[in-house]
Amino acid sequence: MSVVLNEVRRATYLDSIVLMRIAREVAALPGVEEAGLMIGTPANKEILRDAGILGPEGGSAEPGDLILALRAADAQAGQATLAAARRLLDQPGGLGATAAIESSRTIRAAVQRLPAANLALISVPGDFAVTEARKALEFGLHVMIFSDNVPIADEAALKRDARARGRLVMGPDCGTAIIGGVPLGFANTVPRGDIGIIGASGTGIQEVSCLVARAGRGVSHAIGTGGRDLKAEVGAITTLMAIDALDADAGTQHVVLISKPPAASVASAVLDRVAKSPKPFTICFLGASKVALPANARAAATLTAAAELVGASAVGRVRPSLRRLEPGALVRGLFAGGTLCSEAQIIFDKAGLAVASNVPVPGASAVPAGHEHAMIDLGDDAFTRGRPHPMFEPAVRDGPLAEALADPRVGLILLDVVLGHGGHPDPAGHLAAFLSGRKLRPVIVASVVGTDADPQPRDEQVRKLTEVGVIVAASNADAAEAAIAALGR
């Protein structure tokens, strides 16, 4: 009989990326049905409660406490899992590169230890992120906020404060940046070069920077803004400051700006600022209607097109040739990257193909009536409540993928595999193991976002996929366009 066990560590903090990695290892242990490892904020306790793994001990946790919650097949498996989890928690550095990093309990202590540092990466529960970011600003630091669940009014106020201090705030919910060649968050290893990137999308930055790198070019800096920076409530504060910074950077010769369509007033302010720059710009407002651009800017409808416009044509537009699908066959997109999912949906929409998006769990591969194709962002909150993000744990995709493989209406499945720092050590290996031995009736087309210099070398990841029959496209846009061609459009 299943048992729910909780253990609370009082006044304990670990970085959210470390917590997710430990949770992934715990969830993979024998007899574990569900597991979570979270700071005891009300929002996190609600997630654990919805997942059915919050017990009385976890319910009593304070916002500064750490909750280990799990459901196991029986008491013996549960106790064995708790013991294993304790070992992982006691030695979190053993999980990877953090082993060589000395910890500091406060920003003040960190600044004293590294007085030459000029940037703080904030990765705490959203309830505490603004307070910690303000502390960093008071010490004269620029800030990258990996944390999410920060109210947008707090984001706007924080960014106004930072602007007054002449400091940049990337985020909240900024998952990717490359500053001076150093990858931060979910970023890839790319060479230094003269292309600057400003992105309100983490996977958008990853796709463009990797296509640029694979074409032999390099990136000066990639500045993430957080997904809400171009909303009217925030007013593109970070985006405008990032343009100023890249304008002043002698090593940046071309700037790529990536975002979903901004508010009209914000778009006008951003484009007015772009017009004053002496440098050429590529503007990729994914899904936006045609907008009037200044003379120094060109528009890109997709991330691949944006990379091409800065010299990455060597890897762009190399679409695989697929067999024609049977009439009425459907396409399912199962994505780890939210922007990659949106890009595929936009490409299908422009081809006149009806697409359903983010069908609720359960039955993730089912679609509403109307015989539609579907693009599903498995990193959306509806899929990750109480579970790790699929870029940490590719097994999150297993259930929806099994459903799509078994659906006789599905003729083609689109997937993304996102590599880089902070992600799963072998996402293609997991996917290949899941598909191995299965009869792949639907065509499976994947894009692999990464470089050969990443912790998971791209060429090895591609090889693992092709060995089990997956067709690998050069980019996400190429994969989506190949699927459309297979539909006869």
| CATH number, residue 435 | 3.40.50.261
Considering the domain boundaries, does residue 288 fall inside one?
A: yes
Predicted confidence (pLDDT) at residue 213 exceeds the cutoff of 50: yes
Boundary of a domain, candidates 123, 150, 173: 173
Predicted confidence (pLDDT) at residue 89 exceeds the cutoff of 80: yes
371 with 311, same domain: the answer is no
User: For 283-300, what is the mean pLDDT?
Assistant: 93
* pLDDT at residue 393 in the model: 82
168 with 183, same domain: the answer is no
Q: Residue 145: CB partners within 8 Å, gap ≥ 6?
A: 122, 129, 133, 169, 170, 171, 172, 173, 174, 226
Helix (H, G, I), strand (E, B) or coil at 380: coil
d(CA 263, CA 148): 21
52 with 125, same domain: the answer is no
165 with 192, same domain: the answer is no
Residue 439 burial by CB count (10 A; 0-12/13-18/19+): exposed, middle or buried? exposed
Considering the domain boundaries, does residue 324 fall inside one?
A: no
Q: Residue 287: CB partners within 8 Å, gap ≥ 6?
A: 260, 261, 342, 346, 349
| CATH number, residue 166 | 3.40.50.720
Residue 222: strand pairing partners: 178, 197
| CATH number, residue 53 | 3.30.1360
Percent of the chain exceeding pLDDT 90 equals 72
375 with 266, same domain: the answer is no
User: For 381-394, what is the mean pLDDT?
Assistant: 74
Q: What is the helix (H) or strand (E) element at residue 405, kind and residue range? A: helix 398-406
135 with 18, same domain: the answer is no
> What is the Cα gyration radius of the chain?
22
d(CA 170, CA 223): 7
Number of compact structural domains in the chain = 4
Considering the domain boundaries, does residue 462 fall inside one?
A: yes
Predicted confidence (pLDDT) at residue 272 exceeds the cutoff of 50: yes
| Best CA proximity match to 420, nearest among 461, 470, 382 | 461
163 with 229, same domain: the answer is no
Confidence of residue 396 (pLDDT cuts 50, 70, 90): confident
User: For 208-229, what is the mean pLDDT?
Assistant: 96
d(CA 145, CA 368): 37
d(CA 425, CA 202): 18
Of the two residues 101 and 78, the one the predictor is more confident about is 78
Confidence of residue 383 (pLDDT cuts 50, 70, 90): confident
Considering the domain boundaries, does residue 231 fall inside one?
A: yes
User: For 464-471, what is the mean pLDDT?
Assistant: 95
Boundary of a domain, candidates 77, 98, 119: 98
**What is the number of residues in the chain?**
489
* Torsion sign over Cα 367, 228, 419, 222: positive
User: For 259-283, what is the mean pLDDT?
Assistant: 96
Of the two residues 317 and 346, the one the predictor is more confident about is 346
199 with 215, same domain: the answer is yes
Tokens standing for residue 52: 């059915």
181 with 169, same domain: the answer is no
203 with 83, same domain: the answer is no
Considering the domain boundaries, does residue 321 fall inside one?
A: no
User: For 63-82, what is the mean pLDDT?
Assistant: 93
Q: What is the pLDDT of residues 119-151, one digit of tens each?
A: 999 988 788 899 999 999 999 999 999 988 899
d(CA 400, CA 113): 47
Boundary of a domain, candidates 52, 80, 98: 98
* pLDDT at residue 387 in the model: 64
Task: Write down the mean pLDDT value for the chain.
Answer: 90
| Best CA proximity match to 204, nearest among 348, 353, 346, 414 | 346
Considering the domain boundaries, does residue 308 fall inside one?
A: yes
Q: Which of 25-39, 254-268, 376-390 has the lowest mean pLDDT?
A: 376-390
| Best CA proximity match to 340, nearest among 415, 423, 450 | 415
Q: Which of 232-246, 383-397, 451-465 has the lowest mean pLDDT?
A: 383-397
* pLDDT at residue 245 in the model: 98
* pLDDT at residue 475 in the model: 95
Range of the domain at 312: 176-316
Considering the domain boundaries, does residue 26 fall inside one?
A: yes
Predicted confidence (pLDDT) at residue 17 exceeds the cutoff of 70: no
Considering the domain boundaries, does residue 480 fall inside one?
A: yes
* pLDDT at residue 23 in the model: 82
344 with 467, same domain: the answer is yes
User: For 444-459, what is the mean pLDDT?
Assistant: 97
187 with 309, same domain: the answer is yes
